[in-house]
């Protein structure tokens, strides 16, 4: 969209908007409430221009969502618009970067004006909430696919990253984990939930909250961080491997919602430890930072829970410890770890 040199595609009928009409109508005419000062030039030229502040590095991340694989056919377009930007904002948060702008490439089998109206409303709402401007992109015909590349900035050499966890660090998780998995299991009929429960927990799957402010606030406090997209244990394992350390996880300390905490301990563990799509942050920080982290939690009004600690690298990447301070049997541990390739 910023790159308007891409060829105009002819409308199949006079009532169906062509590519430039789409851009004008849904993606260009609207601007965010407070234009991001880091964007020197947005949509409308061959390229967008970004002005990073002094002593900042540009953080870049891309996520692609494909219908039928990452979201169900017929997904609510408003929530889809929100989510496809939220997952990218979540990656910036995991580095402690603040959002600048994003590009959007979208393939659609056919132009559906109502769908685009809702989708772009969701996208713009999320963009406004996080001061992140749409600065370019492209549209084409094809199976419904949404690809966003996001740009942020972070003070030079201060970003959080996966390879900075240190032995002795505490491991923390924001808010609650497991509701997205709880709702997915109900959809797949692995277990059942009441209508009220399902409505509430499925919000977590369809409308995740990127922890933008938390990520930025953790600069100078946390060592390593990652956003939980594939599951707490699976994502934590990236930190452990890249930092060459192991971890003890107090599995029953993992924070869950009231609904999830009302389920059996087995179901809670499965959802909290292995469920993806929560987009909370998991981070490590020196023990001495505990008080600062608790203050941060109260300032942000966001629960931050200690769930374990980083240990010297041993053969076992993770030891799972139950509420009685006992390590889970290897068969039980296996059950939670086997879903992740990284543990094999
Ligand atoms: Mg990520």
Q: What is the pLDDT of residues 263-273, one digit of tens each?
A: 999 999 999 99
CATH code of the region 170-335: 3.90.650.10
pLDDT at residue 118, as a whole number: 95
C-alpha 93 to ligand 1 mean position (Å):
9
- Residue list, CB under 5 A from ion ligand 1: 91, 227
The per-residue pLDDT for range 113-122, each reduced to its tens digit, is 899 999 999 9
pLDDT, the chain, mean: 89
Which ranges in the chain are annotated with CATH 3.30.1330.10?
19-155
- Which fold would CATH assign to domain 19-155? 60s Ribosomal Protein L30; Chain: A; (3.30.1330)
Which ranges in the chain are annotated with CATH 3.90.650.10?
170-335
Q: Is 157 left (phi over 0), alpha (psi -120 to 50) or beta?
A: left
Confidence of residue 69 (pLDDT cuts 50, 70, 90): confident
Which positions ≥6 away from 61 have C-beta within 8 Å?
A: 88, 91, 92, 149, 150
The per-residue pLDDT for range 148-189, each reduced to its tens digit, is 999 999 999 999 999 999 999 999 999 999 999 999 999 999
Question: What's the predicted TM-score (pTM) here?
Answer: 0.90
Q: Which of 168, 307, 138 has its CA nearest to residue 243?
A: 168
C-alpha 94 to ligand 1 mean position (Å):
7
C-alpha 229 to ligand 1 mean position (Å):
6
Per-residue tokens: 4:
């308007």
pLDDT at residue 294, as a whole number: 98
Confidence of residue 242 (pLDDT cuts 50, 70, 90): very high
pLDDT at residue 8, as a whole number: 36
pLDDT at residue 45, as a whole number: 78
C-alpha 13 to ligand 1 mean position (Å):
41
Q: Which residue has the tokens 């939930």?
A: 193
């Amino acid at each position: 969209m910023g790159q308007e040199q891409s060829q105009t595609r002819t409308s199949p009928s006079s009532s169906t908007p062509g590519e430039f009409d789409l851009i004008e109508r849904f993606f260009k005419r609207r601007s965010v409430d407070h234009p991001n000062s880091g964007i020197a030039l947005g949509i409308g030229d061959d390229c967008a221009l970004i002005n990073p502040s002094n002593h900042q590095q540009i953080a870049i991340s891309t996520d692609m969502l494909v219908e039928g694989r990452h979201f169900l056919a017929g997904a609510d377009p408003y929530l889809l618009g929100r989510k496809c930007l939220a997952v990218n904002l979540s990656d910036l948060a995991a580095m402690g970067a603040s959002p600048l702008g994003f590009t959007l490439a979208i393939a659609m089998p056919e132009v559906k004006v109502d769908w685009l109206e809702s989708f772009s409303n969701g996208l713009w709402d999320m963009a406004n909430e996080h001061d992140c401007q749409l600065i370019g992109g492209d549209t084409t015909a094809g199976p419904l696919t949404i690809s966003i590349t996001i740009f942020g900035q972070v003070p030079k050499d201060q970003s959080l990253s996966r390879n900075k966890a240190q032995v002795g660090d505490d491991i923390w998780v924001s808010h609650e984990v497991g509701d997205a998995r709880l709702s997915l299991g109900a959809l797949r009929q692995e277990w059942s939930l009441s209508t009220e429960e399902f409505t509430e927990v499925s919000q977590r799957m369809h409308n995740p909250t990127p922890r933008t402010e938390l990520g930025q606030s953790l600069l100078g406090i946390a060592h390593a961080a990652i956003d939980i997209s594939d599951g707490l244990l699976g994502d934590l394992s990236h930190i452990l491997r890249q930092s060459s350390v192991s971890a003890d996880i107090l599995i029953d300390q993992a924070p869950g919602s009231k609904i999830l905490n009302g389920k059996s301990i087995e179901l809670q563990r499965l959802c909290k430890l292995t469920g993806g799509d929560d987009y909370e942050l998991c981070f490590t920080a020196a023990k001495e930072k505990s008080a600062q982290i608790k203050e941060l939690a109260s300032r942000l009004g966001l629960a931050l829970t200690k769930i374990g600690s980083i240990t010297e690298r041993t053969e076992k990447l993770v030891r799972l410890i139950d509420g009685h301070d006992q390590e889970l049997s290897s068969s039980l541990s296996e059950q939670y770890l086997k879903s992740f390739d990284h543990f094999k």
